[in-house]
Every structure is written in structure tokens, then in C-alpha cells.
Amino acid sequence: MIATKSVKPALQLTYVKLMMDVIGRGLVMASQVDDEVKQEVSKFPENFTLSMNVFPHGPAFIARVTSNQQLELVPNLATKPDLTITFKHLSHAFLVFSFQESTAQAFANDRMIADGDISYAIRLVRCLNKMESLILPKLIAELAVKEYPNNLSLKEKLTGAASIYLKVAQSYFTRSA
């Protein structure tokens, strides 16, 4: 386990910024390729916006539900998102993103705030858990999620992870092109 205090705040900021970007993109791509995440996202209303950020002005991502019930990243919003998940401190986000604490445990430890309908927050956490279960090695995913899915076959994990990673990689190239 990495002692959070031993990692300099500048390094924590760089790491959390990178992970926030990867998680935002991963969530968008999972909403395109994974049936379980697709089903969860389809329960959000069209144009529903969600955000994850670090208080007060730290790394963040914003996503919106499209007309075809997928997520897309948006650079900014003119209005407040429908759901915002906020880490109260950079070190709290670092704990979660370095897999020292699960999202559920961070909520239980009062390190995060959900601003919006709690049922939507729970739905978002289910999407994050499924995406993390797919893209992370099982040993790390078991640390990141409250309960690793028993019915996740190796084939589903490998094909899901490959699809998500490929789409995430492509998103970096299409953005800079």
C-alpha cells in the first residue's frame, strides 16, 4: 500500500488528473461496448449530465447522455450538472484512484459527496464498478469495487477490456488530430 502522505501533492495532482481523464473516457467507451453499462446508462434521461471532480477546482470530467443512450464527454457546461460526485480533497481522490480504497468505502468514509438524485449516483457507481471490473486486472479490480462480479468470464473481461482500451486510445488520437 502506498502511504498517501509520502506522495507529494504535485504528483498526486498529476496522477489524479490522468486517472480522471482515463476514467471519464473509459466510462464513455464502456457505455458503447458493454451491455450492462449500456442498460444502466439507458435509465438516465436524454441530455442528463454527470460530473466527477475534486474540490475545489481540481481535476474533473463531465459527461452527457446522448439521444442514442450513450455517454459523451463534454468540455464544459453552462448549467450545473444533474449529478456531481465530488471528492472532498485531492488525497481522497488519490486513495480511490490508486486503488487503496474502493468508491463505496470512500463514500462510507465521507470522502465524497453526491450532489443530485441518489438513485442516479448509485447507477453511476454501478457503471464505474463494471467498467473497472472489465479494464483492471482482477486483483486490482477487487480492491477498486465493492464486489467483483462472480459471473464475469475471462472471455468477457478480455474482449470488454480490449474494446474499451482500443476506443480510449482512439479517443486520444481523434482529439489531437
Segment 55-74, tens digit of pLDDT: 999 999 999 999 999 999 99
In which domain, by residue range, is 71 found?
8-166
SS3 of 84, please? strand
Indicate if the pLDDT at residue 29 is higher than 70. Answer: yes
* Residue 67 CA to its chain's centroid (Å): 21
Domain count, the chain: 1
Torsion of CA 168, 161, 137, 142, to 10 degrees: 100
Identify the CA nearest to 96 among candidates 9, 25, 12.
12
**CATH number for 29:** 3.30.1050.10
Segment 71-91, tens digit of pLDDT: 999 998 989 999 999 999 999
Write out the three cell numbers for 21: 481523464
- The whole-angstrom separation of Cα 125 and Cα 106 is 12
Does any domain span residue 3? no
Q: Which residues contact residue 56 at a Cβ distance below 8 angstroms, ignoring those fewer than 6 apart?
A: none
Tell me the pTM: 0.87
Does any domain span residue 176? no
Compute the average pLDDT of residues 6-24.
Answer: 92
